[in-house]
């Protein structure tokens, strides 16, 4: 329910079928990527690829947020928290890739 979540948590009040389509497509991408990460936890032969994709995903999100902060200004607290979590998870993945060379 992206419309409800955006309205309740972020106080955003715009909505079109195209915007719903974008958010649902992103949701599908996030779910598929998360499933790959879970497969990497369960099956060791996929661990490195799953961890690398996690690093790229998290640090890519963090980079996008940093660019947005520079260009658009400081976002609300929840987005800053997201940035911190993404940097931590990305860095943790890099550390694990260096530590466990599978």
Q: Which residues contact 49 (CB under 8 A, 6 or more apart)?
A: 36, 40
pLDDT tier at 16, thresholds 50, 70, 90:
confident
Residue 90: burial class (beta carbons within 10 Å; 0-12, 13-18, 19+): buried
* Residue pair 61/84 in contact by the 8 Å Cβ criterion: no
Break the chain into its structural domains and give their ranges.
Answer: 2-99
Q: Is the dihedral of CA 10, 24, 58, 100 positive or negative?
A: positive
In this prediction the pTM is 0.81
Residue 58: burial class (beta carbons within 10 Å; 0-12, 13-18, 19+): buried
For the stretch 24-76, pLDDT in tens is 899 999 999 999 999 999 999 999 999 999 999 999 999 999 999 999 999 98
Q: What is the pLDDT of residue 102?
A: 63
């Amino acid at each position: 329910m992206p419309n409800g979540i955006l309205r309740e948590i972020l106080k955003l009040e715009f909505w079109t079928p195209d915007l719903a389509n974008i958010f649902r497509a992103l949701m599908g991408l996030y779910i598929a990527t998360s499933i790959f990460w879970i497969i990497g936890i369960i099956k060791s032969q996929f661990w490195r690829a799953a961890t690398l994709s996690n690093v790229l995903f998290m640090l890519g999100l963090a980079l996008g947020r940093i660019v947005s902060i520079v260009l658009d200004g400081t976002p609300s607290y929840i987005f800053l928290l997201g940035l911190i979590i993404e940097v931590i998870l990305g860095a943790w993945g890099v550390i694990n890739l260096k530590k466990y060379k599978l």
